[in-house]
């Protein structure tokens, strides 16, 4: 799986590329996600992924959940690698949770879409939330608060199985915007949460299959 993930990071070539399609959740899926949020099941992974992110930045080989850094021209981010202990259902809820947490920071969802790429040896499915800062938050000087810039959350699946969540910010460089907050600050705002109590840990299996 690690070798396959490396190929996904390095190349987007596909034998049968498809167009992006709108990403929709059914009413039943939305109700399930709301209950998952209400019961705070996300506490099982938010803090551990935040810790793994800082371990990765410090070059420390930690135990448990794994994160890889995404540092490219114009964007910074993190790749949250899937662990089988999470379960596909919880991982999808966690993907949507990142969207929800960013929305609470003064953002709107610009688009939510998905597509499937058929590679020679595997099929790659990508679900994406693209979020933009609200355009009405401007200072007295006329410079608009870009917060962290645009924020993108991707859920990548390989042959129908979860692979990773890619979470990154893409700050604006135009002078009409305020200076962006750092990606470290975004990670803290979204994932720096308390550990899951035992009753919340016990709910993992309830949502593991989706």
What is the number of structural domains in the chain? 1
Q: Could you tell me the residue range of the domain that residue 48 belongs to?
A: 22-207
117: its two tokens: 């790429």
Asked, for residue 17, whether it belongs to a domain, the answer is no
Instruction: Please state whether the predicted TM-score (pTM) of the whole model is above 0.85.
Output: yes
Question: Cα–chain-centroid distance for residue 156?
Answer: 10
Give me the chain's average pLDDT, please.
91
φ/ψ (deg, to 5) at 133: -65, 145
Residue 13 has pLDDT above 70, yes or no: no
Place of tokens 């610009």: 110
145: its two tokens: 């608060």
Place of tokens 């690690």: 2
* Tens-digit pLDDT profile for residues 175-201: 888 889 999 999 999 999 999 999 999
Asked, for residue 201, whether it belongs to a domain, the answer is yes
Comparing CA positions, the residue from 35, 137, 52 lying closest to residue 90 is: 35
74 touches 170 (CB < 8 A)? yes
């Amino acid at each position: 799986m690690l070798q396959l993930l490396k190929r996904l990071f390095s190349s987007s070539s596909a034998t049968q590329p498809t167009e992006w399609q709108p990403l929709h959740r059914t009413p039943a899926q939305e109700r399930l996600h709301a209950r998952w949020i209400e019961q705070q099941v996300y506490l099982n992974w938010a803090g551990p992924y935040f810790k793994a992110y800082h371990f990765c930045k410090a070059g420390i080989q930690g135990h448990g959940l794994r994160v890889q850094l995404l540092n490219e021209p114009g964007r910074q981010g993190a790749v949250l690698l899937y662990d089988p202990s999470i379960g596909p259902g919880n991982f999808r809820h966690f993907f949507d949770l990142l969207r929800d947490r960013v929305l609470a920071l003064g953002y709107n969802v610009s688009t939510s879409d998905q597509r499937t790429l058929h590679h020679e040896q595997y099929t790659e499915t990508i679900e994406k939330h693209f979020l933009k800062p609200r355009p009405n938050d401007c200072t007295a000087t006329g410079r608009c608060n870009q917060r962290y810039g645009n924020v993108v959350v991707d859920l990548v699946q390989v042959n129908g199985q979860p692979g990773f969540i890619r979470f990154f910010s893409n700050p604006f460089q135009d002078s009409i915007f305020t200076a962006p907050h750092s990606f470290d600050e975004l990670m803290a705002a979204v994932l720096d949460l308390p550990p899951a109590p035992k009753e919340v840990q016990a709910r993992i299996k309830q949502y593991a299959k989706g």
